Chain A
Amino acid sequence: MSLTYLEAIREAQARALKEDPRVFIYGQDVAAFGGAFKATKNLALEFPGRVVDAPISEDAIVGLAVGAAIEGMRPIIEIQFADFSTTGFNQIVNHAATTFWRTSVPLPITIRLPSGGTSGSGPFHSQTLEGLYATYPGLIVLTPATVEDAYSMLLEAVAIDDPVIFCEHKLLYYHLKADSLPTEALPVGKARIARAGRDMSIVTYSAMLHEALAVADELAAEGTEIEVVDLRSVKPLDTDTIMASVARTGRLLCVGESWPWGGVTAEVLARVASEGLDLLDAPPQRLNAKDTPVPYHPNLWAAHRPTARSIATAARRVLRT
C-alpha cells in the first residue's frame, strides 16, 4: 500500500479517535464535508458526534477547545488555513498557552495548521507561522516534513498534555508518499539527520527539507557532501543535534519558508553563533522567504520562497568562504 502525507494525517486522527474516547475534532467543514483538504474524510461517519463542524469563528473554536481540555478532553482543532489562525490568536497565545503555568491545569489541545505556500494561493492561504507561535511560552510547535512524521508526530501531539501547534505543509499533502505507516518513530523534540555529510550542514524543516535534499543530491555530483538536518520540532528546538552536525561539518546554512525577520532560522543561527562559534569555519548563513506577503502568481511565488536553486546558490557561497 502507499499513502500520502495527507492520508497519514487522516489515519493518525482516525487512530487517535479510535484509541481515546477523550479525543474529538472541531473545525470548519470537518464533519460531513471531510475538511477543506479532506484530512477528516469519513471520520464523522466512523465516529458519530465526535467530529463536529464549527462556525467561522476561530476565537470561539480555540476557546471551546480550552474549556473542553479543562474538562479532560483532548480536542484536535483544524484551522482551515494556518493564515486564519490569527483570528484565533488571542485564545491560542493568551489563553491556551498561559493556562497551565497560571493554574497547573494542563491543556492537551492539538491545533492543526495547514501551512505553507502552494502556487496560486496568494497572501492569505500560504503562510508559515511556526516562528510566531514558537515565540510564545506554553506552546509546542511541530513541523513534520515526511509522511512518517506527519503520522507519528500527530499521534504524539494528541498524547502530549500541552497545547501543540501542528504545522502540516499543504505542498506535501498529495505528492509526498510512503509505502506504509511507521511502527516506530523518533520522539518529539529530537531532530533527525536526514542525510549525512561532512562538508556543510543545511538545517531545515517542513517542505524545505525536500528542497535541501535535492540540493544535497545536486552538490554530491560535484563531490560535496552536505549534511541535512530535519528539525521536525521547532519548539522545543533540538540544539544538541544541530551543534553536533555543525561540529562535524564546520559550515551552516539554515533554511526556512517563513519571512526573514526573526523566526526559526534566526534562532538556530543565534544558538550556533553563541555556543559554537569556534566550531564554524565560515560565517553561518540563513535563507528565508522574501519580506513581502506571499505572492499569488506562480512566477512571483516561486521566487518568493527558497527553492532548490536559491538554496544551492547559498550553499555554494557558504562552501566558498
Chain B
Amino acid sequence: MLLARVLDERMANLYRGGKIHGGVFMGRGQEALSAAVGTCLRPGDVFAPLIRDTAGRLAFGEPVLDAVRTYLGSPLGPMRGRDGNVHRGRPREGMLAMISHLGAMIAAVNGMLFARRLKGITGTVGVACVGDGATSTGAFHEALNQAAIEHLPLVAVIANNQYAYSTPNARQFACRDLEDKALGYGITGHTVDGTDLNACLDVIGDAIRRARDGQGPQLVVARLLRLCGHGEHDDAGYVDPKLRASNVGRDCLKVAERFLLDQGWATPQTVAQWWETTSHQVDEAIATAQREGGPDPYKESWCAISSKHLCEGYDEVCDTHLG
C-alpha cells in the first residue's frame, strides 16, 4: 500500500513536471482493497486490474520498473511506448493489459479460466477489478452472466468509489446495492468496507477461496472513496464534502498505519523508515527509466500482426512513392 502510494505520487509529480505524456491515474484511497486482491492471489492466477490498482499489481508481483517504464514510455518496458500509463501488463504471466473499455476485461479473464479448464489445469482463479461505472456497461453484464453459466472461478471486484469520473452513484445505478446484482446472475455476493485493510483481506480472501474451491463466480463490492481526481488533470471538485467527512472517505493507508501502531507491530520510527526506503526504491526506478529514453520511430516495426508475411506495409509503399 505504501509503495503504491509513493509510486503514484511520484508519477503525479512527474506528470505535473511535464515528464509524462497523457495522464496519471492514482489509487489514493483504494490501496487497501487493491493490496488485498494482489495479496490473496497466487502466482499462476489471473489478475485484470483497474486503473487504480497500483497496490494490487505490486502485491501480485509487477515490478516497480514495469510501471515507471510504461509511464515514461521506455522501449524496455512491457508496452515499449506503444501503450502507456495504466495500460500495461504481461498477459502470459497472468496480468492482463487493460483496454480503456474496462468491462471488456472480465470476459477475457473468463476466457483464460475457460481455456485452463479445457487444458485440465485446476486450482487457479481470476480476479477482474472494475469500478462502479463499469457495472453499467453491457460487457460487465455479459461477462458475469457468462462466468455464471460456465461456473468459472472468477472473482469480480467492484471498487465502488462513488464516482465514475464525475458521475455519482445516483446517476449510475438505481438498485439498492450493487451486491444485489449477484443474485440476478446466480452467483455469490459479498460487501466490504474498502477503507479497512483487514476487512478487505478477510472478504477478498474468502471470495478467492470459494472460487478456488469450485463454488463458482464471486462478486465483491467494496465501499470506498477515490481521494483524488479521476486523473491528475481533475481536481475532483464535484465530490460531496459529506462523503469526504464520512467513514467511506477515510484514508485506508492511515487506517492501516493506525492499526499497526495500536497493535504495537510497528513504531512511528519504523513507519518513517518504510516511507524513506520506499521513496528510494521508486526514485531508483525513475532514474533507470529516464536514462532509457523513449522509443525510436525509425526502429519501430509498424506491423500490428505477428504473421509478418501477411503484413501489407502498404503505408510504407505510399511513403516511398512520396519520396
B99 and A95 contact, CB distance less than 8 A = yes
Identity of the chain B residue whose Cβ is nearest the Cβ of A63 in the assembled complex: B107
A99→B305 CA distance, assembly (Å): 9
Asked if B171 is at the interface (CB within 8 A of a chain A CB), the reply is no
Distance in angstroms from B136 CB to nearest chain A CB is: 14
Within residues 59 to 110 of chain A, which ones have a CB less than 8 A from any CB in chain B?
A: 59-73, 75, 87, 90-91, 94-95, 97-103, 105-106
Q: How many residues of A contact B (CB 8 A)?
A: 52
Asked if A167 is at the interface (CB within 8 A of a chain B CB), the reply is no
Q: Which residues of A contact B91 (CB under 8 A)?
A: 70, 99, 103, 105
A94 and B104 contact, CB distance less than 8 A = yes
Instruction: Produce 1/0 per residue, B92-123, CB < 8 A to A.
Output: 10001101110011111111111110110000
Chain B binder among A172-180, A203-211, A232-240: A232-240
Distance in angstroms from B6 CB to nearest chain A CB is: 27
B321 and A91 contact, CB distance less than 8 A = no
**A73, A160, A275 — most chain B CB neighbours (10 Å):** A73
A91 and B107 contact, CB distance less than 8 A = yes
Chain B binder among A3-11, A49-57, A312-320: A49-57
Q: Which residues of B contact A63 (CB under 8 A)?
A: 104-108, 110-111, 139, 142-143
Q: Which residues of A contact B276 (CB under 8 A)?
A: none
Choose among B101, B119, B139, B146 the residue that contacts A54 (Cβ–Cβ < 8 A).
B146
Q: Which residues of A contact B304 (CB under 8 A)?
A: 97-98, 100-101, 137-138
Asked if A148 is at the interface (CB within 8 A of a chain B CB), the reply is no
Q: Which residues of B contact A50 (CB under 8 A)?
A: 118
Choose among A66, A73, A189 the residue that contacts B309 (Cβ–Cβ < 8 A).
A189
A70 and B92 contact, CB distance less than 8 A = yes
A64→B154 CA distance, assembly (Å): 13
Q: How many residues of B contact A (CB 8 A)?
A: 48
B138 and A59 contact, CB distance less than 8 A = yes
State whether A71 and B116 are in contact (beta carbons under 8 Å apart), knowing that A60-B145, A90-B139 are contacts in the complex.
Answer: yes
Asked if B312 is at the interface (CB within 8 A of a chain A CB), the reply is yes
Asked if A161 is at the interface (CB within 8 A of a chain B CB), the reply is yes
Instruction: Produce 1/0 per residue, B300-323, CB < 8 A to A.
Output: 000011110111101001100100
Identity of the chain A residue whose Cβ is nearest the Cβ of B144 in the assembled complex: A60
Asked if B89 is at the interface (CB within 8 A of a chain A CB), the reply is yes
A319→B295 CA distance, assembly (Å): 51
**A60, A68, A188 — most chain B CB neighbours (10 Å):** A60
A91→B143 CA distance, assembly (Å): 12
B310 and A162 contact, CB distance less than 8 A = yes
Distance in angstroms from B140 CB to nearest chain A CB is: 10
Q: Which residues of B contact A71 (CB under 8 A)?
A: 111-112, 115-116, 119
Asked if B233 is at the interface (CB within 8 A of a chain A CB), the reply is no
Distance in angstroms from A146 CB to nearest chain B CB is: 20
Q: Which residues of B contact A106 (CB under 8 A)?
A: 306
A75→B236 CA distance, assembly (Å): 43
**A50, A57, A64 — most chain B CB neighbours (10 Å):** A64
Asked if A24 is at the interface (CB within 8 A of a chain B CB), the reply is yes
Q: Which residues of A contact B97 (CB under 8 A)?
A: 99, 102-103
Distance in angstroms from B104 CB to nearest chain A CB is: 5
**A102, A160, A162 — most chain B CB neighbours (10 Å):** A102
Asked if A2 is at the interface (CB within 8 A of a chain B CB), the reply is no
Q: Which residues of B contact A237 (CB under 8 A)?
A: 312, 314
A161→B306 CA distance, assembly (Å): 7
Q: Which residues of A contact B243 (CB under 8 A)?
A: none
B139 and A72 contact, CB distance less than 8 A = no
A98→B82 CA distance, assembly (Å): 10
State whether A60 and B114 are in contact (beta carbons under 8 Å apart), knowing that A95-B99, A102-B97 are contacts in the complex.
Answer: no
Asked if A274 is at the interface (CB within 8 A of a chain B CB), the reply is yes
Asked if A140 is at the interface (CB within 8 A of a chain B CB), the reply is yes
Identity of the chain A residue whose Cβ is nearest the Cβ of B111 in the assembled complex: A67
Distance in angstroms from A264 CB to nearest chain B CB is: 13
Q: Which residues of B contact A62 (CB under 8 A)?
A: 107
Q: Which residues of A contact B311 (CB under 8 A)?
A: 236
**B97, B112, B306, B314 — most chain A CB neighbours (10 Å):** B306
Q: Which residues of A contact B310 (CB under 8 A)?
A: 140, 160, 162, 188-189, 236
Q: Which residues of A contact B314 (CB under 8 A)?
A: 237, 239, 271
16 contacts between A and B (CB under 8 A): A54-B146, A55-B142, A57-B142, A57-B146, A63-B107, A63-B111, A64-B114, A87-B138, A95-B99, A98-B99, A98-B304, A99-B91, A101-B304, A140-B307, A160-B307, A271-B314
Chain A residues within CB distance 8 Å of chain B: 24, 49-50, 54-55, 57, 59-73, 75, 87, 90-91, 94-95, 97-103, 105-106, 137-140, 160-162, 188-189, 235-237, 239, 271, 274-275
6 closest Cβ pairs, A-B complex: A67-B111, A63-B107, A71-B115, A57-B142, A60-B142, A64-B111
Excluding A64-B107, A71-B119, 10 further A-B contacts by CB distance (< 8 Å) are A55-B146, A55-B149, A63-B108, A66-B108, A91-B107, A103-B89, A160-B307, A236-B312, A239-B314, A274-B318
